[in-house]
């Protein structure tokens, strides 16, 4: 297989969720963003440690998606490959730091973060509003 072969890692079949494209050593997180009457897509650099967490930890994967979705919904789409510190924070920080970040962003987004997690994971939004994001807390 040549290094130019592109593979796509799909976390959940038949869903409208982020995927990861693997091209050689490059990992790209591609995220769809719903914007009412038209949709956008954003692409982010991903490191191997972050990719492993995305594959292994469904909660952190959805937390990241909900957080990024709320932050990028109002941004103009770009063809550039982006970087965002939210990847490191949500995927690699300890649970207390992640919950604090999510709660802060949830409040700032008028509860858009917890609402998307509620929809995608069938979670009790009131628990998230109270600061409890991880199921095993």
Structure tokens at 54: 């995305």
Class of residue 90 by CB neighbours under 10 A (exposed 0-12, middle 13-18, buried 19+): buried
pTM recorded for the entire structure: 0.90
pLDDT digits (tens, 9 = 90+) for 12-45: 776 778 999 998 889 999 999 877 777 899 999 9
Evaluated on CA atoms 88, 57, 33, 115, the torsion sign reads: negative
Question: Model confidence over 54-81: pLDDT tens digits?
Answer: 999 999 999 999 999 999 988 999 999 9
35 vs 47: which has the higher pLDDT: 47
Task: List the structure tokens of 77.
Answer: 């789409």
User: Token pair 């796509």 is at which residue?
Assistant: 8
């Amino acid at each position: 297989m040549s290094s130019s072969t592109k593979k796509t890692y799909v976390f959940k079949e038949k869903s409208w969720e982020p995927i990861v494209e693997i091209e050689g050593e490059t990992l790209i997180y591609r995220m769809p963003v719903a914007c009412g009457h038209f949709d956008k897509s954003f692409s982010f650099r991903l490191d191997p440690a972050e990719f492993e967490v995305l594959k292994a930890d469904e909660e952190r994967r959805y937390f990241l998606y909900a957080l990024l979705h709320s932050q990028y919904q109002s941004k103009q789409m770009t063809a550039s490959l982006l970087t965002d510190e939210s990847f490191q924070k949500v995927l690699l920080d300890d649970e207390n730091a992640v919950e604090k970040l999510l709660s802060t962003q949830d409040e700032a987004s008028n509860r858009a973060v917890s609402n998307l997690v509620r929809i995608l994971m069938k979670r009790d939004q009131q628990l998230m509003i109270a600061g409890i994001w991880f199921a095993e807390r």
